[in-house]
Structure 1
Amino acid sequence: MIEKQNSKEKVLHMLTEIYDQLEELESVLEYSLTDLRINMGQQQLDQINKAEEKINKLEQSMTESAFSFQVNKETYQNLPPALKLELGF
């Protein structure tokens, strides 16, 4: 009978240790995952900002190209017909 009680106490003690270790692991994992989530969010924000910069540069370039095209079109329309023919080839 005493042996059964000792073995039960041993098992209970082992289970208590396992439970404590699991609680500690849970807190470490929570901290790590929170840190990872924050880092990933920052990386995504950085990528979005880089993409936004590229889009703004492309829009600016396209605006400048459209303005340049408009100026060239107006210049081309003001040329005499003989020059228009030469520029076409």
Structure 2
Amino acid sequence: MDSDYMNMLINDRKNRVWQLEKLIISMNISSEMHKSFCTFLAEKVLQQLEKGADSKKIQGIIKSELCVGYGLYMHEFNSEKITNDIMNWRKNN
């Protein structure tokens, strides 16, 4: 594999993370959510999507990361809507 091809793959993945991060930010899940957490969540979700994870798995990750990782309560966000938005994004990209 040549370096141009590797750079193209790296740039493509960075772009997908950035697009997913923008989507997560646009959801305004929490007004105090740090951009770095959105980047982390985008990376984690994209990694699972690349492995073929279904919406149930993605929803579990979202619940876990927003509750355990970020400290939100379940009633503070709609994990089903977030998951649906992410799965629709994936389908269209």
Classify the TM-score, shorter chain. Answer: 0.3 to 0.5
The structure whose Rg is larger is: 1
Whichever structure has more helix as a proportion of its residues is: 1
Question: Which TM-score applies when normalising by structure 1?
Answer: 0.34
Question: Which TM-score applies when normalising by structure 2?
Answer: 0.33
Asked which structure has the greater RCO (Cα within 8 Å, sep 6+), the reply is 2
